[in-house]
Amino acid sequence: MSLPVVAIIGRPNVGKSTIVNRLTETSHAIVYDEPGMTRDRTYQPAYWRDREFMVVDTGGLVFDDDTEFLPLIRQQALAALAESIAAVFVVDGQEGPTGADETIADWLRQQPVPVILAVNKCESVDQGVTQAAQFWELGLGEPFPVSGIHGNGTGELLDQLVTYLPPIEAMSETSEIKVAIVGRPNVGKSSLLNAFVGENRAIVSPISGTTRDAIDTVVQRQEKTYRLIDTAGIRKKKMVEYGPEFLGINRAFKAIRRSDVVLLVIDALDGVTEQDQKLAGRITEDGRACVVVVNKWDAVAKDSHTIYDYEKLVRERLGFVEWAETIFVSAQTGQRVEKILDLVDTAAEQHQRRVTTAVINEVLEEAVGWHSPPTTRQGRQGKIYYGTQVTSQPPTLALFVNDSKLFNDNYRRYIERQVRQSLGFTGTPVRLLWRSKKLREMERGANRATKVKG
C-alpha cells in the first residue's frame, strides 16, 4: 500500500520547510535521490488523527523576472504534483500577496489537484486573520492563517487536508483501475472508447474536486471496474468544433497523471511518431503502467512477419516504455479489443506489486556475483549492502550502498536489467533509488526509515 502524497509548494522563504516540520513533527525524512533530478525531493511521513500520508517538499519555486518559471524547477514541482493527491500552497502573510504568488496561483488553478492555501507567519493574534484575508484575491478559496513557527492554525489546515485523502478502505487493494487513453488525434481513441463501452456496462461520471469539463467513463467487466480518465474530449469531439490544440498534449499529460495504466494508442499506418515518444517519456517519468495499443491493424497489409517486425520497431522507437506490452488491434472490427483490458489487468497488478526484501536481496546477490560493481582508479569499489522495496505504484526499490557516486550509469542499467529479468514487472516502470549509507549506520542495524544523505 502506498501512502497518499501531499505536495508543499511556494516560493522560497515563505516557510515551507518550517511548515513541513510542523506537519511531520518527529518523523524522519527520507531523501530519495533520483537520477536526473537537480534537487532531491524529500518525502516525510505524517499523520493526523487516524490518517497517514506523505509530505513532499518541492523546494522553492523560483521565478525568472518574477513572472516566468525556471523550466527545471517548474518541472520538479510538476513532478511532485503529479503524484500528489493535494497541494498546500504556502504564502507569506507578513509580506502579503506578491506577483510570484499570483503566478503560482494561476498555474495551480490549472492543475487537477485540490489546493489548500496556507498563509504562514500569521502568529499575531490581532493581525493574523487580516493578513490571511488579503489572499482571497488569489482565487484559491479560503486562506488558512497559520504559523509554522508557533503552530497556530495547523490543526485547521490538517482537518481540511485530510478531507482530500482517499477513504481508508479505498487505499488498500484498489477495486477500480484508472485508465487513460492517450494518443495523437485520429489514432482511434474515441473508436476504442466506444468499443469498450459497447461491450460493457458504462457510466459517465464527473470527477469530484476538479473544475473544468473533465468527465470519466466507468466501465464494468466481469468483477472489475475500469475508470477511463477524462473521456470528455474523446466523447464530445464529434459534436463540437475544436481548434488544433484540442486534446493537446497537456490534456494527455493530465490524464496520464491521474491514471494507473495508460493506453498509448498508435496508428498502425503512421507508426511511432515524435508525439508518441513524448507521451511515452511522460508515462515513465510519472511512473504509470502502460500498454501500447497499435490500432487500425485491419488497414495494414500483412504477411506472417509483420507483427513481429512491427513489434520490434515499436519497441525500438518507444524505448521509454520498453517494458510495456504491445497489442495490435482494430477498434473498427473489434479484433483483440477485449484483450486490451486483460493486459491492463496485468499491468495494474504489476504496478501494485510488492516483492519481499529477501527476494530482492537474492536477486542483487546473484547480479553482483556475475558482475561486481566498478572500482575507481583510487581503488574504491562500490558495495551494495542491501535493497528493499519502499513503495509500489510504481514499484520502487531503494538500494543501500556505500557511496552512490561509485555506481556509474552502465552498472545501474545492468542492475535494472537483472531486476527485471528476475522479477518481471511487465507493464510497469520500476524505480531504483541508489542511497549512500555509512557502514556504521548499517552496523547499528537501523532498519527504520532514517535520514539518508544522497
Contact between 273 and ligand GDP per CB under 6 A: no
Strands 84-92 and 5-9: parallel
Contact between 14 and ligand GDP per CB under 6 A: yes
**Judged by CB under 6 A, which stretch of 119-127, 207-215, 270-278, 391-399 contacts ligand GDP?**
119-127
Measured from the CB atom, the residue of 10 and 395 that comes closer to ligand GDP is 10
Contact between 143 and ligand GDP per CB under 6 A: no
Give which of 282, 373, 362 is closest to 321, Cα–Cα.
282
Nearest-approach distance from CB 238 to ligand GDP, in angstroms: 8
In terms of C-beta density within 10 A (0-12 exposed, 13-18 middle, 19 or more buried), how is residue 448 classed? Answer: exposed
Q: Which residues, listed in sequence order, are joined to residue 244 by a DSSP beta bridge? A: none
Which whole-number Å values give the CA distances from 452 to 43, 405, 425, 435, 437, in the listed order? 12, 14, 27, 7, 6
Measured from the CB atom, the residue of 2 and 94 that comes closer to ligand GDP is 94
Q: What are phi and psi of 53, to 5 degrees?
A: -155, 175
Give which of 409, 410, 405, 402 is closest to 438, Cα–Cα.
402
Measured from the CB atom, the residue of 59 and 112 that comes closer to ligand GDP is 59
Contact between 163 and ligand GDP per CB under 6 A: no
**Judged by CB under 6 A, which stretch of 155-163, 301-309, 324-332, 383-391 contacts ligand GDP?**
324-332
Q: Which residues, listed in sequence order, are joined to residue 215 by a DSSP beta bridge? A: 206
Nearest-approach distance from CB 88 to ligand GDP, in angstroms: 11
User: What does the block give as the cell for 382?
Assistant: 562500490
Measured from the CB atom, the residue of 13 and 163 that comes closer to ligand GDP is 13
Contact between 16 and ligand GDP per CB under 6 A: yes
Contact between 112 and ligand GDP per CB under 6 A: no
> What residues between 283 and 322 interact with ligand GDP by CB under 6 A?
295-296, 298-299
Residues 6+ apart with CB under 8 A from 303: none
Edge to edge, the sheet with strand 431-436 lists 384-391, 396-401, 431-436
Q: Which residues, listed in sequence order, are joined to residue 436 by a DSSP beta bridge? A: 401
Q: Which helix (H) or strand (E) holds 204?
A: strand 201-206
CB of 91 within 8 A of CB of 118?
Answer: yes
**Judged by CB under 6 A, which stretch of 104-112, 179-187, 301-309, 398-406 contacts ligand GDP?**
179-187
> What residues between 186 and 225 interact with ligand GDP by CB under 6 A?
186-191
Chosen residue from 44, 58, 84, 120 binding ligand GDP by CB under 6 A:
120
Residues that bind ligand GDP (CB under 6 A): 10, 12-18, 60, 120-121, 123, 147-149, 183, 185-191, 234, 295-296, 298-299, 330-332
